[in-house]
Amino acid sequence: MQRAAYHARVAPQSIWDEFAVDPRSPQHGDLRASDADREVVHRALGSAYADGRLTREEFDQRSDAALGARTLSELPVLIHDLVADPGPAARVPARVEESAALEARAVAAYESDRREAAWGFLSASLVCWVIWWVTSAGGGFPWPVFVMLGTGLHLLRLVVMRGSEVQERRKRLERKADKAVSDHRRRELEPGSDEAP
């Protein structure tokens, strides 16, 4: 019970979420630290001191350093040995991931789907026309046009609606990354978890 209470108090992802932006990220390191950011560190230090993980001297030194911190990059080092690192996947959820990288992944997924649709259209059409030619010797009703319509409409929709299709894939990637983060947090908060300190 005490272990679960400790873990709920200083759950790593919860602490990093309390900052306006993640101070561990190099792109945020030069930003000025606010009083609220310093207070997050001070609470983590106070919790560690109360649990006996810091001596009074260490607590005082780190508290003074937090109060004097000017940039966000100065804060993580003060609590790095008190808060477990959740790993890169949880540390950079989809909503924080660089927009260009996320867009590139969405475009790659779209291009892959479009290639599959084009291949499905061509291969199904070719097979059906060969069957039609062999069975009817080039005469009779050209039924393969229905197959071409069915597979061609899907390909046409992908080509014409490229923008919305890419956005849909981007949303899926964001949901998948957010789910991975929340699953990771849930595992960390479970009593008896291997990741619990």
Residues 66 and 114 in one domain: no
Q: Whole-model pTM?
A: 0.42
Q: Let me know if residue 12 belongs to a domain.
A: yes
pLDDT, residue 74, reads 87
Q: Let me know if residue 93 belongs to a domain.
A: no
Q: Let me know if residue 192 belongs to a domain.
A: no
Total residue length of the chain: 197
Q: Where among 85, 113, 132 does a domain terminate?
A: 85
- Per-residue pLDDT of the chain (197 residues), as tens digits, is 344 444 434 444 468 778 888 888 878 778 898 898 899 888 989 988 898 888 998 888 888 888 888 888 888 888 888 887 654 444 444 444 456 677 788 888 888 889 999 999 999 999 999 998 888 876 788 898 999 998 899 889 888 988 888 888 888 877 777 777 677 777 766 665 554 44
Residues 106 and 159 in one domain: yes
Q: Let me know if residue 181 belongs to a domain.
A: yes
pLDDT, residue 193, reads 52
Q: Would you say 67 and 165 are in contact if contact means Cβ atoms under 8 Å apart?
A: no
Domain with 69, as residue range(s), is 2-85
Residues 13 and 78 in one domain: yes
Q: Which residues of 182-194 are buried (b: 16+ CB within 10 A; e: fewer)?
A: eebbeebbeeeee
Q: Let me know if residue 116 belongs to a domain.
A: yes
Q: Let me know if residue 191 belongs to a domain.
A: no
